[in-house]
C-alpha cells in the first residue's frame, strides 16, 4: 500500500468512527482520565495548546487551555469537535504536509500529540513541521503506548472494549527520542506510567499512582510520554545578574569580586546580606566603592533563610540570566562562564552545579555527606526524569523569564524549601526545562564556617524526596 492509499484509508477509518468517539471514550473512561491526569501535570491550565490529531477535541478540552487549537486529518472528526467544543479552533489538515497547516497562526506554549505518531506515514516529517509553532519555551508532549501490551489491547478490541484501530507504527520511547533528534528536536525527559487501564474497584488508581512509576516495574507500563523542545528557536542573551547571598562572610566579599570573570556584555552583581554579625554589609559597601568598574548593587534580605535572600534578589535583578554564587568561595567564581555558556548557547535552560564529579579539596565534604549526596542524586534523577548529580550545590543558573514562570507556578508546590535549591529544581522540572549539570571543583572554606549541618542536609533531602514523590511522581 503506497502512502497516498494508506493516508486515505486512515481518513476513511476515522471518518467512519467519528460519531461513536464519545461512546468509546466512555467505555475506556478510566484509562482516558488516567492519561489526562499526567497530561494535566505537564501542561498547566490556561496555556496555549496545539493538539495534532485532536479527534473530537475531548483531550484538548481536558487541558483547559486559554487558546486551544486542534488539527485532524478527518473532516468528520473536526465537525464533531466543533460541535462539542465551539470555544476552540479546529482545522482539517494533514500535519505531515506543511502547506496544509500554514493557516494556523502563531506559536504555542505546548504542542500535544496523543497516539498521533502511531498513524503517521512519515514521523520525522511530522515532527519537523512542528518547529513553525515553537518558541524557545514551547514544549512538545508526545504520548504513545507500549507494544508489550499489544496482545491485551488486541483482545480488548475483539471484546468490544477498545475502539477499533488501523495499523499502528511500532514505536518505543527510545524510537521517539531518536526520531525527535533527527527532526532537530531535543528530548528533555520521558516517563512511563499506567499499569492498570481499568479501575479494578479503585485498586487501579492506587497501582497507577504508587506502583507504575517504580524502577524496573515502569518498563512494563502501558503509557510512555516524551517531552521535547525545538532546537531552532533561540534568543541571543547579553546580560546576567550574579546573586551572592552572604551571612557572616566578611572575609570573602572582596575575593569574590577580584576573582569574578567578565563573561558577558553586562554583568550585574547583587550582594544580598542576611543579618550578619561580622560587618559583612559594611564590607560590601567598601567593596562597592573600591570597584566602581563593576555594577554592584547591595541589598539586605527582608526575611530569613537563603531562599528568601535569593528570591528577593532575583525579583530585583535586571539580567536576562540569573546566576547564584555562594559567598563561601567553595565554588570558584572562575567557573561561572561555564554556566553562562550553557545557557546562552541554548544547550541548557537550567544549570545546576555538581560537586561530585571532580576530586574535592581535603575537608571540603565529609565522607558520609558524600555517600548521602550520591544516593539522593540517583533518587532525584528518577523522581525528576532528568539526570541530576548534586541536589544541594548552591550554584545554579537560569533565565529570568523562566524564573518568573517558576514563581507564577509556585502554588503547585507551595512555600516548602528554606534553602531555595529544591524550589528551583522542582519548578524547572515541572516546566520541562532542559537541565544540565556543570561539574565544579569544590573547594574547602578559607573564611568562616558552614551554616548547615549534615543532619539538616539529611533531613531536608529525605523530606524533599518524599515531597517530590507525591507532587511529581505519584499523581
pLDDT of residue 366: 58
CATH no. of 239-473: 3.90.550.10
Which of 31-40, 250-259, 416-425 shows the lowest per-residue confidence on average (mean pLDDT)?
416-425
Please give the Cα distance from 37 to 85 (Å, whole number): 20
**Mean pLDDT, rounded, for 64-89:** 96
Q: Who's near 328: CB < 8 A, 6+ residues apart?
A: 249, 252, 445, 447, 448, 450
Strands (E) located in 287-395 = 295-300, 321-324, 350-354
Cell 516546566 sits at which residue? 431
How far out from the chain centre does Cα 381 lie?
13
Please give the Cα distance from 422 to 412 (Å, whole number): 13
Kindly tell me if the per-residue pLDDT of 331 is higher than 70: yes
Kindly tell me if the per-residue pLDDT of 207 is higher than 80: yes
| pLDDT tier, 236 (very low <50, low <70, confident <90, very high otherwise) | confident
pLDDT of residue 50: 98
Which of 41-45, 180-184, 215-219, 358-362 shows the lowest per-residue confidence on average (mean pLDDT)?
358-362
pLDDT of residue 5: 82
Please give the Cα distance from 356 to 393 (Å, whole number): 9
pLDDT of residue 452: 53
How far out from the chain centre does Cα 280 lie?
37
> Measuring CA to CA, how many Å separate 297 from each of 24, 87, 330?
61, 49, 22
Kindly tell me if the per-residue pLDDT of 455 is higher than 70: no
Q: For residues 392 and 352, which has the higher predicted lDDT (pLDDT)?
A: 352
pLDDT of residue 19: 87
| pLDDT tier, 203 (very low <50, low <70, confident <90, very high otherwise) | very high
pLDDT of residue 109: 97
Mean pLDDT computed over every residue of the chain: 89
Report strand pairing: 295-300 vs 321-324. Answer: unpaired
CB 111 within 8 A of CB 50: yes
**Mean pLDDT, rounded, for 325-333:** 88
The CATH fold of domain 3-230: Rossmann fold (3.40.50)
Q: For residues 201 and 389, which has the higher predicted lDDT (pLDDT)?
A: 201
**Mean pLDDT, rounded, for 185-189:** 95
CB 151 within 8 A of CB 123: no
Q: What is the number of helices (H) and of strands (E) in the chain?
A: 17, 14
Hey, what's the cell of 143? 504520548
pLDDT of residue 305: 85
Classify the C-alpha dihedral 331-332-333-337 as positive or negative.
Answer: negative
Q: What is the pLDDT of residues 346-380, one digit of tens each?
A: 999 999 988 776 665 555 455 566 676 778 778 88
Burial of 269 (0-12, 13-18, 19+ CB in 10 A): buried
Cell 535552560 sits at which residue? 349
437 backbone dihedrals φ, ψ, rounded to 5°: -90, 130
Hey, what's the cell of 162? 477498545
Q: What percent of the chain stands above pLDDT 70?
A: 92
Q: Who's near 331: CB < 8 A, 6+ residues apart?
A: 325, 353, 355, 393, 394, 395, 440, 442, 443
How far out from the chain centre does Cα 355 lie?
22
**In the chain, where are the structural domains located?**
3-230, 239-473
Q: What is the pLDDT of residues 3-52, one digit of tens each?
A: 678 889 889 999 999 888 888 888 889 999 999 999 999 999 999 999 99
Q: What is the pLDDT of residues 58-72, one digit of tens each?
A: 999 999 999 999 999
| pLDDT tier, 95 (very low <50, low <70, confident <90, very high otherwise) | very high
Amino acid at each position: 500500500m503506497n502512502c497516498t492509499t494508506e493516508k486515505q484509508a486512515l481518513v476513511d477509518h476515522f471518518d467512519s468512527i467519528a460519531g461513536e468517539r464519545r461512546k468509546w471514550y466512555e467505555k475506556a473512561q478510566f484509562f482516558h482520565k488516567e492519561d489526562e491526569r499526567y497530561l494535566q501535570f505537564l501542561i498547566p491550565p490556561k496555556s496555549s495548546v496545539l493538539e495534532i490529531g485532536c479527534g473530537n477535541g475531548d483531550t484538548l478540552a481536558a487541558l483547559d487551555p486559554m487558546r486551544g487549537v486542534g488539527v485532524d486529518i478527518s473532516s468528520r472528526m473536526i465537525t464533531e469537535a466543533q460541535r462539542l467544543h465551539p470555544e476552540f479552533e479546529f482545522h482539517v489538515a494533514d500535519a505531515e504536509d506543511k502547506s496544509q497547516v500554514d493557516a494556523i497562526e502563531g506559536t504555542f506554549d505546548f504542542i500535544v500529540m496523543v497516539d498521533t505518531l502511531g498513524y503517521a506515514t512519515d514521523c520525522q516529517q511530522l515532527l519537523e513541521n512542528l518547529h513553525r509553532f515553537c518558541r524557545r519555551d514551547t514544549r512538545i508532549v508526545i504520548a504513545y503506548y507500549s507494544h508489550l501490551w499489544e496482545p491485551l489491547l488486541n483482545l480488548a478490541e475483539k471484546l468490544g472494549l477498545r475502539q477499533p484501530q488501523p495499523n499502528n507504527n511500532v514505536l518505543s520511547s527510545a524510537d521517539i527520542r531518536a526520531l525527535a533528534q533527527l527532526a532537530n528536536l531535543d528530548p528533555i525527559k520521558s516517563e512511563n506510567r499506567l499499569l492498570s487501564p481499568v479501575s479494578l474497584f479503585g485498586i487501579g488508581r492506587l497501582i497507577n499512582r504508587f506502583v507504575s512509576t517504580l524502577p524496573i516495574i515502569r518498563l512494563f507500563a502501558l503509557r510512555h510520554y516524551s517531552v521535547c523542545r525545538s532546537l531552532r528557536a533561540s534568543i541571543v542573551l547579553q546580560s546576567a545578574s550574579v546573586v551572592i547571598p552572604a551571612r557572616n562572610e566578611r572575609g570573602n566579599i572582596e575575593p569574590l569580586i577580584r576573582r569574578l570573570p567578565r563573561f558577558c556584555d553586562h554583568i550585574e552583581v547583587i550582594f544580598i546580606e542576611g543579618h550578619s554579625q561580622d560587618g559583612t554589609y559594611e564590607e560590601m559597601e567598601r567593596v562597592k566603592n573600591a570597584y566602581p568598574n563593576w555594577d554592584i548593587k547591595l541589598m539586605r534580605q527582608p526575611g530569613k533563610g537563603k531562599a528568601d535572600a535569593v528570591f528577593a534578589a532575583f525579583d530585583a535583578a535586571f539580567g536576562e540570566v540569573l546566576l547564584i554564587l555562594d559567598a563561601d568561595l567553595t565554588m570558584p567564581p572562575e567557573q561561572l562562564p561555564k554556566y553562562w555558556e550553557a545557557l546562552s548557547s541554548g544547550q541548557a535552560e537550567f544549570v545546576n552545579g555538581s560537586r561530585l564529579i571532580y576530586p574535592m579539596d581535603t575537608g571540603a565534604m565529609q565522607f558520609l555527606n558524600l555517600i548521602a549526596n550520591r544516593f539522593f542524586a540517583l533518587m532525584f534523577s528518577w523522581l525528576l526524569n532528568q539526570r541530576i548529580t548534586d541536589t544541594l550545590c548552591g550554584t545554579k543558573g537560569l533565565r529570568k523569564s523562566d524564573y518568573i514562570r517558576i514563581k507564577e507556578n509556585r502554588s503547585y508546590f507551595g512555600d516548602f524549601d528554606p534553602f531555595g535549591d529544591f524550589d528551583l529544581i522542582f519548578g524547572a522540572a515541572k516546566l520541562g526545562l532542559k537541565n544540565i549539570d556543570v561539574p565544579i571543583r569544590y573547594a574547602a572554606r578559607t573564611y568562616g564556617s558552614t551554616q548547615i549541618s549534615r543532619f539538616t542536609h539529611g533531613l531536608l533531602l529525605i523530606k524533599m524526596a518524599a515531597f517530590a514523590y507525591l507532587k511529581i511522581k505519584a499523581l
